[in-house]
Amino acid sequence: MIGIREGKRGPRPILIRDAVRANLTRTCGAIGICLFIWATATAPAQAAQTHILANTFGSFNGPVGVAVDNSSNLADPAAGDVYVVDTGNHRVMRFDASGNPAPFTASGSNISGNALTGTPTSAFVTPYQVAVDPANGDFYVSDALTGAVYKFDPTGKLLTTIDQTSGVPLGNSGSFSPFGIVVDPTNESGDIYVENRGYYNGDGYTQGDQIAKFESSGTYGNAGIFATGPIFGEPPIDNFAMSSSGDFYVVLQGRNVTEYNSNSPIGTLDTNAPTAVAIDPSNGDIYVAENSPKRQIEEYNPAGEAIDSFGLNSFGSTYGLAVDASHNVYVTDNAGTKVKEFRQATPPVVTTNPADDVTAHSARLNGSVDPAGNGEVTPATSNTAAPNPTA
């Protein structure tokens, strides 16, 4: 609340700093007249929202990928759960939204509680990223050294294995080495996009990452491929995400985050040393993990405008970033052993009401404060200032 005090040097602002003191009587002497600009009707005022570190969970060895099951399918038993790729321990782990273990229910030697160590016939070697189909909760795990992407249902049952026998182009002497992976959010067909770092033409000049499209069955889709290479010298992809409009946001290692529409770059985000990117499924905001000069998360609106930053120096380095439908952000600390959860913090809402008991020298200001910003209004306490004839 800003008031104006008339004095010898002209008008100057008075800042009422404490919103809890919304019921206030201010008395002024004959030297000046206090004029308060006050709403003539009830008016809520709310500051911009941000994120705060609210939880850390798990015990990992160099965690990389993280994903949230944002499925609205009532038949999905894992809706709202968080998947973490514990790369150093060769497993994928699942937790509920509070960070408690969420066990898989399928049986097999590859499952132990909330840990998935591979398929029933082979173990993970270097699991890297995980992605969840928002239509039904099925999830995918990429493993670079086994050269495969594995599809599981929410119970942990293996459904499909995608490898180079799918027909994905590899160049003249390349291989299928999957790293980044996303599920297409633009439809419910379950198509996936996979970053292949093994593409190579064998001529010493033409190599690079590709992003290839596969159907949910594991069949390679010819129309879905584009590449940041294969131009020698192009920076490799660290991470990528896909918006609900079908655009890709690709982290080019050590450079920037580039937005692609199909094969064509259409813009970049103004960010420094990005390592991971994720998109809010509710509003399309883009979150980017920066590694230098500040380790923090930057938030951009769909127009590419920076609107928030948080988590300064709260993690060592990260290659995993995920956002749930409530705008909460999950970050893997690759240099540590935990997942960090940043929850959206709604600041207090201050509601101002018309002043009463107005005289030539004083007025009673009325209002209330909702400290949680959740619509449950807490009446403010009354506070009457002592008269100050020299004010």
Q: In what order do the strands lie in the sheet containing 339-345? A: 50-57, 339-345, 329-332, 321-323
The yes-or-no verdict on residue 7 having pLDDT over 80 is no
d(CA 158, CA 120): 8
Residue pair 299/317 in contact by the 8 Å Cβ criterion? no
How far apart are alpha carbons 144 and 65 in whole angstroms? 13
Query: For residue 152, what pLDDT is reported?
Result: 97
**Residue 390 counted as domain residue:** no
Same domain, 144 and 204: yes
Q: What pLDDT digit, counting tens, does each position of 305-351 carry?
A: 999 999 999 888 888 999 999 999 999 988 889 999 999 877 677 78
Mean pLDDT is lowest, of 28-32, 100-104, 251-255, for: 28-32
13 in the same domain as 80: no
Q: Is the pLDDT of residue 204 over 80?
A: no
Tokens 């690759």 -> residue: 334
User: 354 lies in a domain?
Assistant: yes
At residue 173, the pLDDT reads 67
Taking residues 139-147, report their average pLDDT: 96
Among 3-7, 99-103, 267-271, 272-276, name the most confident range.
Answer: 99-103
Radius of gyration in angstroms for the set of CA atoms belonging to the chain, rounded to a whole number: 27
Cis (ω within 30 of 0) for the bond into 371? no
Mean pLDDT of the chain: 79
Specify the pTM.
0.77
Lowest mean pLDDT among 24-38, 221-235, 369-383: 24-38
On whether the CB atoms of residues 77 and 71 are closer than 8 A, the answer is no
Tell whether the torsion through CA atoms of 300, 304, 307 and 312 is positive or negative: positive
Where residue 266 sits, what CATH number does that domain have?
Answer: 2.120.10.30
In a domain, 356, yes or no: yes
The answer to whether residues 14 and 108 belong to one domain is: no
**Would the pLDDT of 81 be above 90?**
yes
Q: Based on the domain organization, do 357 and 241 belong to the same domain?
A: no
- Percent of the chain whose pLDDT exceeds 70: 75
In a domain, 389, yes or no: no
At 264 the pLDDT is 80
216 & 264 share domain: yes
**More confident of the two residues 139 and 377:** 139
Are 208 and 230 in contact, with CB atoms under 8 Å apart? Answer: yes
Tell me how far CA of residue 35 lies from CA of 340, 354, 363, in angstroms.
48, 14, 9
Between 60 and 376, where is the model more confident? 60
Residue from 187, 377, 55 nearest 366 by CA: 377
What are the E-state strand segments in 215-305?
220-227, 237-242, 248-252, 256-261, 264-269, 274-279, 286-290, 296-300
With cut-offs at 50, 70 and 90, classify the pLDDT of residue 384.
Answer: very low
For residue 198, what pLDDT is reported? 80
Domain that holds residue 30: 2-46+347-384
Same domain membership, residue 359 and residue 223: no
Token pair 């529409």 is found at: 261
- Whether 208 is in a domain gets the answer yes
Pair 90, 226 in one domain: yes
134 and 222 both lie in a single domain: yes
- Which tokens hold the place of 366? 């009325």
Q: How many domains does one find in the chain?
A: 2
Q: What is the pLDDT of residue 360?
A: 84
CA distances from 81 to 66, 98, 101, 163 (A): 11, 9, 9, 27
One domain for residues 231 and 331 = yes
- Shared-domain flag, residues 290 and 249: yes
Q: Give the pLDDT score at 372.
A: 59
Instruction: Name the residue with higher pLDDT: 8 or 279.
Output: 279
The answer to whether position 391 is within a domain reads no
pLDDT score at 49: 52
Any residues with CB less than 8 A from the CB of 241 and at least 6 apart, and which?
Answer: 182, 248, 249, 277, 278, 279, 286
pLDDT value at 374 more than 70? no
Indicate whether 182 belongs to any domain: yes
Q: What is the pLDDT of residue 208?
A: 63
Token code pair at residue 47: 């500051």
More confident residue, 143 or 228: 143
Considering the domain architecture, whether residues 248 and 351 belong to the same structural domain is answered as no
What average pLDDT does range 145-174 have in this prediction?
90
Task: Kindly tell me if the per-residue pLDDT of 276 is higher than 80.
Answer: yes
**pLDDT digit string (tens) for 18-67?**
333 333 333 344 333 333 333 334 444 444 558 999 999 999 999 999 99
Q: Among 100-104, 105-109, 164-168, 349-353, which stretch is predicted with the lowest mean pLDDT?
A: 349-353
| Same domain membership, residue 259 and residue 149 | yes
Q: Sign of the C-alpha dihedral, residues 275, 278, 284, 290?
A: negative
pLDDT the model gives residue 21 = 35
- Between residues 11 and 123, the one the model is more confident about: 123
